[in-house]
């Protein structure tokens, strides 16, 4: 954003135009990239805005110009989140609980001291600020839990990507004796990573033996290098060629590839590529 502003200044844009452009960009980013509206009319007819950003009259007006609505901005728009948190706390309060918030006398009698030192537990040597409030010490400036005196947990968390990968491709194909329609090769590429369970079940129910290409490797990528028509094709598209060759070598009767996100992919290979449209 800074570079765009500097470029606009070099091109002679006024402060007013730049400010207006920034106000519009804030709203368009929120509506069409964050909320992902297809049309500003989808937002409805009655809109209340909140947040400190809308204290800026230009941003508020940009919202109205883009949506074509006269929106409501409460006087407390910047602190509505605090009000919401207070209401949630009120709803969750149970009789008999004692508040941990300090009373006025306790706040007045608070004493604290500051100490600055380097954490020498790793090469970062973070500059720590140790604030001692009464008998409690608060550490700031640390980049990890070790600087705050918290031991790093030794618990090994599961690798969710590995779990998903193994789960997706754990299906067992039917035997040759059951595969009365022959075999179908499915390359382990593109959106097959999400859709493989569906296509495996689809072809298995039709009595095809599903043959899956091997896991992507440098060697597999190089298998299809001589079939790639252009160097400007992206890497995910290039490696498809290697997976296709891998399936040819495995003897698949035909190869199925679902090309929804890559309709212009040119495989340029002397084999039959079948796309099933349901």
Q: What is the pLDDT of residues 209-252, one digit of tens each?
A: 999 999 988 888 888 888 887 777 788 888 889 999 999 999 98
Please give the model's pTM, rounded to 2 decimal places.
0.42
C-alpha 20/C-alpha 28 separation (Å) is: 12
pLDDT band at 259 (very low <50, low <70, confident <90, very high): low
CATH of the domain at 40: 3.30.420.40
Looking at 118, 147, 176, the residue that finishes a domain is: 147
Looking at 147, 171, 205, the residue that finishes a domain is: 147
137 and 170 belong to one structural domain = no
142 and 201 belong to one structural domain = no
Rounded mean pLDDT, 164-176: 89
DSSP structure string for 52-68: GGGGSHHHHHHHHHHHT
142 and 167 belong to one structural domain = no
Looking at 77, 98, 126, the residue that finishes a domain is: 77
Orientation of helix 15-28 relative to helix 57-67, angle to 10°: 60
Q: Which of 207, 171, 206, 163 is nearest to 188 (CA)?
A: 171
207 and 264 belong to one structural domain = yes
Rounded mean pLDDT, 95-105: 82
12 and 71 belong to one structural domain = yes
Number of folded domains that form the chain: 3
Position 87 in a domain = no
Q: Which residues contact 124 (CB under 8 A, 6 or more apart)?
A: 143
Q: Which of 148, 152, 121 is nearest to 137 (CA)?
A: 148
Rounded mean pLDDT, 188-208: 90
Sign of the Cα pseudo-torsion (3, 9, 13, 16, in order): positive
175 and 225 belong to one structural domain = yes
Position 97 in a domain = no
Residue 268 has pLDDT above 60, yes or no: no
pLDDT band at 277 (very low <50, low <70, confident <90, very high): very low
Position 245 in a domain = yes
Position 88 in a domain = no
Position 175 in a domain = yes
Q: Which residues contact 60 (CB under 8 A, 6 or more apart)?
A: 49, 54, 71, 73
Residue 23 tokens read as: 């106000």
pLDDT band at 186 (very low <50, low <70, confident <90, very high): very high
* Domain housing 121: 106-147
Over residues 4-41, the pLDDT tens digits come to 888 888 899 899 999 999 999 999 998 888 888 888 78
């Amino acid at each position: 954003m800074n570079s765009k502003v500097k470029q606009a200044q070099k091109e002679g844009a006024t402060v007013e135009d730049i400010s207006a452009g920034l106000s519009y960009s804030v709203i368009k980013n929120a509506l069409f990239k964050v909320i992902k509206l297809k049309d500003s009319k989808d937002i409805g007819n009655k809109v209340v805005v909140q947040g400190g950003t809308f204290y800026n009259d230009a941003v508020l007006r940009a919202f109205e110009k883009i949506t074509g609505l006269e929106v409501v901005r409460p006087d407390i728009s910047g602190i509505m989140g605090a009000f919401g948190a207070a209401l949630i706390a009120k709803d969750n309060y149970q009789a008999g609980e004692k508040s941990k918030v300090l009373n006025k006398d306790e706040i007045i009698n608070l004493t604290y001291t500051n100490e600055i030192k380097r954490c020498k537990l790793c090469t970062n040597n973070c500059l720590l600020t140790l604030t001692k409030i009464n008998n409690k010490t608060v550490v700031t400036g640390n980049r990890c839990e070790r600087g705050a005196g918290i031991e790093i947990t030794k618990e090994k968390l599961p690798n969710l990507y590995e779990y998903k990968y193994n789960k997706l491709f754990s299906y067992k194909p039917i035997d040759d004796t059951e595969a009365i329609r022959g075999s179908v090769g499915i390359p382990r590429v593109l959106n097959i990573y999400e859709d493989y369970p569906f296509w495996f079940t689809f072809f298995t129910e039709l009595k095809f033996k599903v043959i899956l290409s091997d896991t992507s490797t440098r060697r597999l990528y190089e298998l299809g290098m001589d079939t790639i028509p252009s160097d400007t094709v992206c890497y995910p598209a290039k490696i498809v060629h290697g997976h296709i060759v891998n399936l040819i070598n495995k003897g698949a009767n035909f190869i199925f590839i679902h090309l929804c996100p890559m309709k212009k992919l040119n495989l340029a290979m002397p084999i039959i590529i079948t796309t099933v449209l349901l």
